[in-house]
Structure 1
Amino acid sequence: MVDLKNVPKELQSAIDEKGYEKLTSVQSLVLGPGNSGKDLLVSSQTGSGKTLAYGLSISCDGLKEIIDEDNKLKTLIVTPTRELALQVFNELAWLFSKTSITISTAIGGMDIKKERNNIRNGVDLLIGTPGRINDHIRRKTFDLNNIKSLVLDEADEMLDLGFKQDLDIIVNQSPKSKRILMFSATIPKKILSLASKYQKDAVRIEATSLGKAHTDISYETYMIKRYDIENAIFNFLRFHDDKTVIIFCSTRNAVTHISSRLLNRGFSVVSLSGALNQSERFKALQSIKNGRCKICVATDVAARGIDLVNLDIVIHAELPQNSEILIHRSGRTGRAGNKGRSILFCSPGERRRYERLIHSAKVKPVINKFLSQQEIERKDNEKIINYLSKSQKKSSGELKLAKELLTQFSSEDIAIALIENFKGKLPPIEEVESFDEEKVNQMTSDRRKKKREGKRKRGPFSKKKQKS
């Protein structure tokens, strides 16, 4: 049970029912003494519990600061994506479930007329994306004249997605006396500049070390020939078929390509890219969340704001462009106290860029030799044994058929048929050439040596032959 001072009893009761035993780091810091009513600039990774943190914070001055008898909007939460807005809505819905506070959303891809009717019927707390919020303001669905609290969730993401102008409009059209809470995974110069423009004497809170990775995430690297990396991904997924995985790609075309190759090999997979409409994205996310599908292939932009608590592994289909992208991608796993894995595939020719990347990200991946065909086959055999070890309910018809099989075939023949049937349903094992760290170091050394010898052979002042 968490004992929260200054938090309304209705919220304390809802938290108790959820079974919370302790606050996360960001929740403790945001609710710290002296922060009530003040502007906050918070660095906190996605999945750290920040939604509950600002939900509790905006209620600390009393529920009357949120509820208005004249149906005037008092609290606005702005998120970069529709998915994050819906996740925030679900989180705050249970938090405020024992109060009379009404919560609604304003997000692209939804029926704007239905949204307008809901808001005009009276909303105390609105969660939305910058573009849709401004669309409603232009349509005069509501105004921001009575806003007491404004939350900018994942502010860095909103800037990256080009919402700066939309944010300016929202901030400028709301009262100067409002309280602004800004949350960002990292706080680069652009966020500091935004905070100085929007906020007054903001309290700076660092819930995580800036630019550093989650401690609950282990980083692993496999050195693979460039043309074998996709095959390596297929073998990795085949070996870890019980894990929930997201594969990050840099482009829509790459998402389509890898998704198609996975489907052709019999994997169950969904994809997330800008090519999907809202309904398709929602269905894809639901299939991952309810466990019907365990593999998601996505672009960085499409995956922003997604919160998958059950995500086990992040795979980088190609090296991220920079350390910030690496940390953001990897941060999709290792949430809510769970352990996660971030898998990088690197060709020997990318070694230098890889080393600069991990140095900048301040992570130390373990370089492993990739799975051999023998290891994958042993895992297949274990799956068969584990399947047979589980107590299965047998119908009378199945028992009758089993007896008939034993009279016509040997137990060895039946076992072999079972094995062939089981393995026949699995994707093929691909051929992959990989290297351990010692081999890669030797290749790098040989390449540098060859380059030095070439320079000595030409001489320091030699010129390349010009074509006549």
Structure 2
Amino acid sequence: MHFTELALNKPILKAIYEKNYDEPTQVQELAIPLILERKDLIASAQTGTGKTAAFALPILQLLFHQQDASKNAKKIRALVVSPTRELAVQIEAEFKDYSKYTNLRTACVFGGTSIDSQKDVLRKGVDILIATPGRLLDLRKQEALHLDSVEVLVLDEADLMLDMGFIDDVRKIERMCPEEKQTLLFSATMPAKVIHLAASILKNPERVEVSPSGTSAKNVLQLLYYVPKSSKIELCLHLLRNEIQGNILIFRRTKNGVDKLENTLLKNDFKVESLHGDKTQSARQTALNKFKNGEVNILIATDVASRGIDIDELDVVINFDLPNIPETYVHRIGRTGRAGNTGTSYSFCAADEKAYVKNIQKLIQKSIQVVEDHPHPLDPKAKPQVHKKKGGSKHKSGRKSAASKKNKKRWY
């Protein structure tokens, strides 16, 4: 299929061609016609499948006839809600690229920066707004924006939005928009809570699924290392010194884990940066820029911080901690081996993570290749560590307080 077959007008097609895109991706081919028919949509698509353009292009087409409203008369007609600042900025950039030959205005609002400058932008009139939930509600509370003209509402990365605790905010935002709006929900994975949310706010939605959640990347060599939890850092250092080269993204489950591994790698003279939710926006952007321009070749991140980051030419993904949600594994390794390139994923499995491997293999319907020849093997009989509380209570059971031991009358 060619983009000209998708009922998009010439100004939009011109912008597409300038980005050197000739053929739509699978999610674009399936989603764009449905969105142009004003249907509600649930789309399951991983990062890197072209999903932003899948909703940006038809939204620009639908709003095109209103593009010449004077600046002050412009109202928010399309609202894209994004869980993270990085993703919001990325979506805004794509909208601006595709709308360059139209008069449609796009703006982006998110926390961590001045709210006053964002109010000024909104005052000048906006057709399309991309926003993170918290800042959007702050601006609405201060009456700096109104959502009563929204025709299309997009919930992007819905699974991450719910993981980050935005469910109530999302429901509030949805209720602030007109009832007759078109709602589009995009999500990398489709856990039960996303399906439940979709059922409660979408009307007779069409369903689009691209590389279904159980399809692991075809161009990725998947390797599994059974290793004691206490030896994971030593194994990581061994592989980085002897086997792994190129641009490497390492996943850890917690922010503390990210910091600990970063400090160890820095002490061992590796060029490394990290991303997690406690870092400021500017620190996260600096880390990402250093990785993208080659100043460092290792980036350590939590799943939440890494979502929405578009990194080209990633050679290796290391699952330092295996995810307890099998779809997350597919999402992680899908960041390498893109656009015809090959990649490798290395997964470290401790005794208490064996159940995760079973669930992952069940989802992807194949066994992950186990590497047994390495310096820190896990004893096959090793049991998961049980963490007991040290010492227990300092008081003896059945104790009485000093006051109760004195048989004195109380005042009550």
TM-score (norm 1): 0.76
Cα gap change, 1:65 to 1:352, in 2 (>3 Å): same
How far does residue 321 in structure 1 lie from its aligned partner after superposition? 2.0
How far does residue 12 in structure 1 lie from its aligned partner after superposition? 0.4
1:145 corresponds to: 148
Q: CA RMSD in A?
A: 2.4
Cα gap change, 1:34 to 1:124, in 2 (>3 Å): closer
2:220 matches 1:277: no
Aligned mates of 1:62, 1:73 — CA distance in 2: 11
**Structure 1 stretch displaced more, 240-249 or 126-135:** 240-249
Aligned mates of 1:308, 1:133 — CA distance in 2: 27
Aligned mates of 1:212, 1:203 — CA distance in 2: 21
- Structure 2 spans left out of the alignment, 5+ residues: 384-412
Pairing partner for 2:265 from 262, 267, 270: 262
1:39 corresponds to: 40
User: 2:34 touches 2:206 (CA, 8 Å); kept in 1?
Assistant: no
User: 2:326 touches 2:356 (CA, 8 Å); kept in 1?
Assistant: no
Aligned mates of 1:366, 1:68 — CA distance in 2: 59
1:82 corresponds to: 85
2:220 matches 1:217: yes
Aligned mates of 1:208, 1:286 — CA distance in 2: 29
Q: Say how many residue pairs are matched.
A: 380
Aligned mates of 1:253, 1:247 — CA distance in 2: 14
User: 1:130 touches 1:163 (CA, 8 Å); kept in 2?
Assistant: yes
Cα gap change, 1:221 to 1:6, in 2 (>3 Å): same
* Letter aligned with residue 300 of structure 1: D
2:65 matches 1:56: no
User: 1:326 touches 1:361 (CA, 8 Å); kept in 2?
Assistant: no
Aligned mates of 2:240, 2:101 — CA distance in 1: 44
Cα gap change, 1:68 to 1:235, in 2 (>3 Å): farther
How far does residue 4 in structure 1 lie from its aligned partner after superposition? 3.8
2:376 corresponds to: 433
Secondary structure at the residue paired with 1:208? coil
2:208 matches 1:205: yes
* Deviation beyond 6 Å, 4+ runs, structure 1: none
Cα gap change, 1:361 to 1:131, in 2 (>3 Å): farther
Q: CA deviation digits over 1:276-305, x for unaligned, max 9?
A: 111111111111122221111112222222
2:11 corresponds to: 10
Q: CA deviation digits over 1:230-285, x for unaligned, max 9?
A: 12212222345641111111112111111011000100110112231111111111
How far does residue 320 in structure 1 lie from its aligned partner after superposition? 1.8
**Structure 1 stretch displaced more, 280-289 or 327-336:** 327-336
Q: 5 Å matches for 1:12-411?
A: 12-32=13-33, 36-61=37-62, 63-65=64-66, 68-69=69-70, 70-239=73-242, 242-347=245-350, 351=354, 353-370=356-373
User: 1:75 touches 1:149 (CA, 8 Å); kept in 2?
Assistant: yes
Secondary structure at the residue paired with 1:22? coil
2:408 corresponds to: none
Cα gap change, 1:336 to 1:100, in 2 (>3 Å): farther
Cα gap change, 1:300 to 1:242, in 2 (>3 Å): same
Aligned mates of 1:340, 1:8 — CA distance in 2: 38
Aligned mates of 2:326, 2:286 — CA distance in 1: 31
* Letter aligned with residue 26 of structure 1: V
Aligned mates of 1:302, 1:142 — CA distance in 2: 28
How far does residue 345 in structure 1 lie from its aligned partner after superposition? 1.5
**Structure 1 stretch displaced more, 324-333 or 112-121:** 324-333
1:405 corresponds to: none
- Structure 1 spans left out of the alignment, 5+ residues: 372-431, 449-468
Cα gap change, 1:171 to 1:87, in 2 (>3 Å): same
User: 1:65 touches 1:74 (CA, 8 Å); kept in 2?
Assistant: no
Aligned mates of 2:240, 2:54 — CA distance in 1: 36
Secondary structure at the residue paired with 2:332? helix
* Letter aligned with residue 55 of structure 1: A
* Letter aligned with residue 433 of structure 1: H
2:407 corresponds to: none
Secondary structure at the residue paired with 1:51? helix
Larger Rg: 1
How far does residue 353 in structure 1 lie from its aligned partner after superposition? 4.8
Aligned mates of 2:135, 2:67 — CA distance in 1: 22
How far does residue 209 in structure 1 lie from its aligned partner after superposition? 1.5
User: 1:35 touches 1:203 (CA, 8 Å); kept in 2?
Assistant: no
* Letter aligned with residue 10 of structure 1: P
User: 1:67 touches 1:124 (CA, 8 Å); kept in 2?
Assistant: no
**Structure 1 stretch displaced more, 257-266 or 342-351:** 342-351
Secondary structure at the residue paired with 1:91? helix
**Structure 1 stretch displaced more, 299-308 or 222-231:** 222-231
User: 2:35 touches 2:55 (CA, 8 Å); kept in 1?
Assistant: no
